[in-house]
Amino acid sequence: MVKRAIPSREELFSILDAVMDPEVPVLSVVELGIVREAVATDDGGTVVTVTPTYSGCPAMREIETEIKRALEDQGLGPVTIRTTYSPAWTTDWIAPEARAKLEAYGIAPPGVVEAGELIQLTRRAATVRCPYCKSVLTEQKSEFGSTACKSIWFCRECRQPFEQFKAI
C-alpha cells in the first residue's frame, strides 16, 4: 500500500462518489446522501459517517463493505464506519443532476417531501411523469415496490409499468 498525504474532505468524497448504490446502480452513495461525512485520521485511516435510507434497507451492509474497499484501495485504511440516524435521511438530498440520471435509468425521480398532516388516512393525488414516454397520464398501482425506496406506477400512454423513487 502506498503512503500518501492526508486527503481533504473533497478528495475523500470524490473517491466515494465512485461507489454505486447496489440497488440503484446509476447513483453513488454520495449522490444519494448516504455518506454524511468523511474525515482522514492522523494514523492515515478514514472515518466515514453514513445514514441508512430506510430502517430495514438490506443494502446497507454491502454499501459499508464497498465504501471500505474503495478507500482501502487508495491506501486510506483502516476505515471506520459510523452510523448516524439524525437528521433522518430524506430524498430532498438528491440533487437535480442525480434526479435526471434516475429518470434516464427508467426510475421516476422523487417529488418534494411535503410535511403535511402527521396522519393521512388516504393517498394524495400526485402527478408523476413516465420515465419512458414522459406522459403524465400515469397512475400509482402501489406505494410499495421492488425495494423499500420505490413505488409501482403504470403509464396509460405507453402502457408500461415503471417505478418511482418515493419522496420520504
Site residues for other proteins per CB under 8 A: 52, 54-58, 84-89, 118-123, 141-146, 148, 152, 166, 168
User: Judged by CB, which is closer to other proteins: 120, or 127?
Assistant: 120
| Minimal distance, residue 71 CB to other proteins, in Å | 23
| Minimal distance, residue 57 CB to other proteins, in Å | 7
What whole-number distance in Å separates Cα of residue 97 and Cα of residue 79? 29
| Minimal distance, residue 20 CB to other proteins, in Å | 22
Q: Do 110 and 167 form a contact (C-beta atoms < 8 A)?
A: yes
| Minimal distance, residue 92 CB to other proteins, in Å | 12
User: Judged by CB, which is closer to other proteins: 74, or 140?
Assistant: 140
Strand order in the sheet with 35-40: 35-40, 46-50, 79-83
C-alpha separations of 44 from 63, 74, 91, 104, 162 in Å: 22, 11, 33, 39, 45
User: Judged by CB, which is closer to other proteins: 58, or 75?
Assistant: 58
